[in-house]
DNA sequence: CACGAACTGGCAGTTTCTGCCATATTGCAT
DNA sequence: ATGCAATATGGCAGAAACTGCCAGTTCGTG
């Protein structure tokens, strides 16, 4: 399922457009149309596993960072190696393709927003607070917002450095992310 | 178009489900199926104008508040009268209906996230800073996050007071919303 | 190997969505 | 008010998206 998602994203990038039929997607992923619909309730859900796995991997890496490291340093570290696609230019292209159709954009945003919960848990663990507390929830939202805006800025402006952009964003929420209680 | 959106949302609430066909929606809105598709590119886009107009109205009201009022007081004021639907119970029901299907949930989230830009401009005007600055963008994101979480909490927990929930959320981002530069 | 559970594909049928053209409505100048 | 152009609407045919059902396959387990 993740494989099929990856294969389809690859096809989207190849064709530089979001106008692909189910037939084309299924064929390139090497599965039948019927199976395609078992994996993805709606056509645009095809990008969901791709982004989910990427986002989850970042959080997992964050959780694997040493305790003594500051949250800001950890964020810098995990952001460095975790990109949705290896090539920066392909990443930008994918952003624009998915941005061009509301249906894809909406799904991508939903996946991103849903990762707030993972980040809330991760930050809460670090700060030693309750993962369901208001503070933890908003710390999660802050991290995701910083990611989201950095990715957008990076995709729109070729001259930006992704890591520095993220860190500048995170800096704004510093207090929220550092206050222990 | 907004009328058709409102009518359809009304129908969703009446039927307590998101499983409505285009045929039913168009009939209830008093337009043909063909015209329905002229207004709404995809079926689930039908909720878009409804939420957009609600969100825009809140920002407009915020901009109409007196200059001398604090941002927090203004937020409290505009939040008080502006609900997507008049009846609180209907509002909760609508939330659950749209939450039950990813396609509707994704659209709602997208509309909410897109209102960040409006808030960034509104807050920037108040603080006397550039609307495209990083600080303004994140202030907008902070307000929207506070709204979003308050609405969710309010919809899930019948005992919560919407205004107090919002203000408690906003309080977390106090520094970002108050710092003049 | 046997067997049940889970995965996959084919196909018919429904619903969603689009292109094209004809008709109606609106805005505006006369 | 009248004519005219621009725009909004509807009908219909057809394509694409999506579902239900059943049959064949693969996979893990005893």
Which architecture, in CATH terms, is A47-178? Orthogonal Bundle (1.10)
Q: How far apart are CA B92 and CA B109, in angstroms?
A: 16
Residue B4 pLDDT > 70 = yes
Q: How far apart are CA B47 and CA B2, in angstroms?
A: 9
Residue ranges per structural domain of chain B: 44-178
- Determine the pLDDT at residue B87: 80
Q: Cβ separation of A173 and B176 shorter than 8 Å?
A: yes
Interface test with B, best of A101, A168, A172, A173 (most B CBs within 10 A): A172
Tell me which residue in B105, B173, B175 faces A110 most closely, judged by beta carbons.
B105
Q: Which residue is listed with tokens 């990427």?
A: A54
Q: For residue A64, give how far its alpha carbon lies from the nearest alpha carbon of chain B (Å).
A: 28
Q: Cβ separation of A169 and B138 shorter than 8 Å?
A: yes
pLDDT tens-digit readout, A4-26: 999 999 999 999 999 999 999 99
Cα maximum dimension of chain A: 53
User: What's the CATH number for B44-178?
Assistant: 1.10.357.10
Buried b (16+ CB within 10 A) or exposed e, A89-116: ebbbbbbebbeebbbbbbbbbbbbbbbb
pLDDT tens-digit readout, B26-70: 999 999 999 999 999 999 999 999 999 999 999 999 999 998 999
φ/ψ region of A76 (left if φ > 0, alpha if ψ in -120 to 50, else beta) reads alpha
- Determine the pLDDT at residue B174: 80
3-state secondary structure of B41: coil
- Determine the pLDDT at residue A162: 86
pLDDT tens-digit readout, B147-168: 999 999 999 999 988 889 999 9
Low-confidence ranges of chain A (pLDDT < 50): 181
């Amino acid at each position: 399922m993740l494989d099929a998602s990856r294969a389809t994203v690859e096809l989207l990038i190849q064709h530089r457009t979001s106008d692909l039929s189910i037939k084309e997607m299924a064929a390139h992923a090497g599965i039948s149309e019927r199976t395609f619909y078992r994996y993805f309730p709606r056509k645009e859900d095809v990008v969901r596993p791709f982004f989910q796995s990427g986002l989850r991997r970042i959080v997992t890496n964050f959780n694997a960072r040493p305790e003594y490291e500051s949250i800001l340093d950890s964020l810098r570290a995990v952001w460095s190696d975790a990109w949705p696609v290896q090539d920066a230019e392909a990443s930008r292209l994918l952003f624009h393709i998915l941005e061009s159709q509301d249906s894809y954009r909406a799904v991508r945003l939903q996946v991103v927003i849903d990762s707030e919960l993972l980040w809330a848990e991760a930050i809460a663990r670090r700060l030693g607070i309750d993962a369901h507390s208001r503070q933890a929830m908003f710390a999660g939202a802050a991290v995701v917002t910083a990611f989201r805006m950095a990715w957008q800025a990076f995709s729109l402006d070729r001259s930006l450095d992704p890591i520095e952009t993220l860190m500048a964003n995170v800096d704004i929420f510093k207090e929220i992310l550092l206050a222990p209680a």
